[in-house]
Chains A and B, each alone.
Chain A
């Protein structure tokens, strides 16, 4: 028995369903009943019997293999400490940046640099990896959105992101932590950031890719 509609906004403590369902995310079982634990959009698959609540807000929870974009906050002897919009700082060891054994961290990075990297390990601290194709990003602009909305920015098989790249002629790097880096011509950057802001605000509506395409088409011509 289901007590809410599919794609409804739910709040913590709300009764979602009673009975035998798999809970994927954002809910908890209490005996037969399934209650929401976050503010989010509920997705119910009646056939496969699973429930997923995608949170509307929240900090990024690191996962091994995720590409993330961080800003260097501090340099230690052989490592850099990055802000990755998570509960913990990301740690980037010099060995995970370059093959050159004699390289020094303060020659490679300085505070405030933007680094595109991959989450390598989350046992203990969050350690990152930034050998090519990852690495330092030069220039460009950053935008922070909620990490839960990143899948919409990328789109199905990268459809959304390739549309943005095509119309704005920008380089776009997307971090799973909700940080997006954009570089191109000034007008292109403006447009890309605006498109991402729209996606952020309307991420829970359908037909978004078409609307973004329309928006970009109008602006480009």
Chain B
């Protein structure tokens, strides 16, 4: 099977093209803030609760709020039923999500409390952690939690000898390398960088540039989604 032919990928995209992304804000009524992202075939819900009181008490920090992230995949989200409950992979993704979001959330405003971010993947097709982080930062903003910036995130990878943006399922499974990245556009910082597989330094450089372009597009979509949510009730 050939994954790239004449610069066109297996799902018809160009090398630097993202999948279709749709972001909705405020979809869950009971949450303080929420977001829903459709990213290609990925479907991800994020609920944010808080700041609220944290139990057990010893986990509280007197100088800042604690950010608790939970990534979970529904058992029906993949072709073969996933055994429900936390596993090694989801614990890892929860941890890196927290790391990706913590630099932007102004946790020092809410000492002795907790902010919960719950990411629920209801349909998965490669790149769920990026979709999760993208949605989570929008949901945090929707909850009214002060933050430095939104966090767009997307992946690049190496398939054959080509560097491509936003891997789909086949490219993720049969490609050489996968590189999910989360960015802080305001400062140009990177708050998540993982790499699965191998790349040379030059290839990494090329992938980073590609991701920067992709994140810019996602960032605009995040801002647009947030504005749309509140423009709706403007009657002037």
Contacts and interface: CB of A to CB of B under 8 A. Distances in A.
Interface of A: 9, 11-14, 26, 28, 30, 35, 37-39, 55-59, 87-89, 146, 148, 201-202, 204-206
Is the contact region of chain A dominated by helix, strand, or loop, or is it mixed? Answer: loop
A39 B141 contact: yes
Q: Dominant SS at the B interface? A: loop
A206 B236 contact: yes
A13 B236 contact: no
Given A9-B227, A11-B227, A39-B230, A56 B144 contact: yes
Contact of A28 (B113, B148, B222): B148
A88 B55 CA distance: 12
Interface residues of B, number: 34
Given A37-B106, A87-B52, A205-B236, A11 B141 contact: yes
A11 B143 contact: no
Given A11-B223, A204-B234, 12 more contacts: A12-B149, A13-B149, A14-B223, A26-B146, A35-B148, A37-B148, A38-B146, A39-B144, A58-B145, A59-B144, A89-B53, A205-B236
Contacts of A89: 53
Nearest to A41: B230
Contact of A9 (B110, B144, B147, B230): B230
Contacts of A201: 233
B226 A39 contact: yes
Interface of B: 32-33, 50-53, 65, 104, 106, 110, 112-113, 141-150, 185-186, 222-223, 226-227, 230-231, 233-236
A181 B235 CA distance: 26
Contacts of A148: 144
Given A11-B223, A57-B33, A205 B235 contact: yes
B11 to A, nearest CB: 31
A59 B113 CA distance: 12
Nearest to B229: A39
B179 to A, nearest CB: 24
Given A9-B227, A205-B234, A87 B110 contact: yes
A50 to B, nearest CB: 18
Contacts of B231: 9
29 contacts: A9-B227, A9-B230, A11-B141, A11-B223, A12-B141, A35-B148, A38-B144, A38-B145, A38-B146, A38-B147, A39-B144, A39-B226, A55-B146, A56-B144, A56-B230, A57-B32, A57-B142, A59-B32, A59-B50, A59-B52, A87-B112, A87-B113, A88-B113, A146-B144, A201-B233, A202-B233, A202-B234, A202-B235, A206-B236
